[in-house]
Amino acid sequence: MRSFFTLLGLMLFCWGAIGQTYTFAVKRAADAAPVSYAHIQIGNSLQGVVTNVDGMGSLTIPSKYSDEEIKVSFMGYEVKTLQISQLKRDQINEVLLEENDIELSGVSVVDIGISPSDFYLKTMEMVEKTFYTKSYTGLASYSERVIEDGEPTFNYEMEILYDAQGFRRATGKNQFVNNDDVYFKKLINVDGEQKYSYAKAGELVGFDFQFGPPDQQHDAFIDEFLSKKNWFERLTLYMPEINATSNWIFEDLLEKDGEKFVKLARRGSQSEIVYLVNIDSYHVNSIQAKILKVPSTHRNVMEFYLNGELDFRIDYFKVDGLSYVKQVEIIELKRIGNSPELGTKMIKGKLVFQEHTNEKPDKKKKVGIDFIDAVVMKKGD
């Protein structure tokens, strides 16, 4: 009997330490339409979640935050504050957000006292003061969904240890080196199998690999994800194109939690980028970008698969006055061949940070190009 109560006590302790999981549905109060990319943040911490395109999000709240508040926010809407103690574990917590009254009314130099180009330059100048720029190790999750020829074929999710170098200014040839590393911790789920791979795409288009086709049976997009994430952050934050400041415009003026943000955008025929920036402190709330590939720039037919069309989105949580990376989404559409197109592969990768940690990575579990073959398809063994 004593052993039973000991086991019961241990189970209760573990449940308390791990925390409880809650599901949220964030909607507009006016018409119950889902609010995509709403921020659900626990107090002044990195703990939280960003809702998906359907306005849904699940969050495991560690017991140490049980007395904290949760803030649910989205640009242009009133912030909703919830007590964690009042959340429901056994059903969806619906959150209705009311729209703010503030409107753009023609943003101009007079409205915020600075031109779009100068505002962009000032935002870049303030990066070292508005962002958490140091190297860090973070507990995170990474998930991938693959859609081939319009049909879902493969997905998986895992817990990882993310070793980030922060805004270290790599120069010269090193600026193209992937400085961040990921270490596998636990496979959460895996389902299906990829239809196409780099080797399969090459076979379909009759491409002659100089050193033979790749050995990997499955593409490990996470390897590309890390490189593209670091390249995107360099391009948009700490190695920006400060000499190319034309064509920036203010598209919208929005309010969140009493602070005003401007939507700063530059749109072209092949690419576009949009920042949401605080007009007083220059803190960045999110960055979105779309990059199309021009067929004439491809060196060979495999380029349509190797370098596809890209959609980026990075969301930041403000913690202790600094912007921390909370979530990174990268969607790439790869094409097999061109005129005719023999197939398509869309990969949706998502990286979500929970918190920074002092945990040391197990170097033997570093994620690499053979990760899908060696770990995921073997169910994490």
Per-residue model confidence as pLDDT tens digits over 295-322: 656 678 888 898 899 999 999 999 999 9
Nearest of 22, 11, 30 to residue 86 by alpha carbon: 22
Nearest of 285, 148, 300, 311 to residue 225 by alpha carbon: 311
- Domain definitions of the chain by residue range: 2-97, 116-378
Peptide bond into 62 cis (omega under 30): no
Report residue 104 as tokens.
Answer: 């753009």
Q: For residues 271 and 311, is the Cβ–Cβ distance under 8 A?
A: no
Q: For residues 116 and 306, is the Cβ–Cβ distance under 8 A?
A: no
Q: Over 50: is that where the pLDDT of 74 sits? A: yes
Structure confidence at residue 119 (pLDDT): 94
- 2-97: what fold? Immunoglobulin-like (2.60.40)
Report residue 73 as tokens.
Answer: 């926010």
Report residue 65 as tokens.
Answer: 């935050």
Report residue 227 as tokens.
Answer: 């490189």
Per-residue model confidence as pLDDT tens digits over 203-212: 999 888 888 8
Per-residue model confidence as pLDDT tens digits over 332-341: 999 998 878 9
DSSP 131-198: B--S-EEEEEEEEEEEEETTEEEEEEEEEEEEEE-TT----GGGGGS---EEEEEEEEEEEE--S--H
Q: Is 30 helix (H, G, I), strand (E, B) or coil?
A: coil
Measured at the CA of 169, the angle between CA 166 and CA 171, to 5 degrees, comes to 140
Mean residue pLDDT of the chain comes to: 86
CA-to-CA separations, 236 to 4, 127, 140, 183, 185, in angstroms, rounded = 57, 10, 23, 26, 30
pTM of the predicted protein model: 0.89
Confidence at 270, pLDDT banded by 50, 70, 90: confident
DSSP 87-102: --SSS-EEEEEPBPS-
DSSP H helical segments within the chain, as ranges? 2-18, 109-112, 116-125, 127-130, 198-205, 221-233, 303-306, 371-374
**Mean pLDDT across 166-171:** 63
**Mean pLDDT across 156-175:** 76
Q: How far apart are CA 303 and CA 124, in angstroms?
A: 32
Q: How far apart are CA 307 and CA 131, in angstroms?
A: 30
Q: For residues 309 and 297, is the Cβ–Cβ distance under 8 A?
A: no
Structure confidence at residue 307 (pLDDT): 86
Q: For residues 262 and 112, is the Cβ–Cβ distance under 8 A?
A: yes
Q: For residues 53 and 36, is the Cβ–Cβ distance under 8 A?
A: yes
Confidence at 129, pLDDT banded by 50, 70, 90: very high
Q: How far apart are CA 117 and CA 123, in angstroms?
A: 10
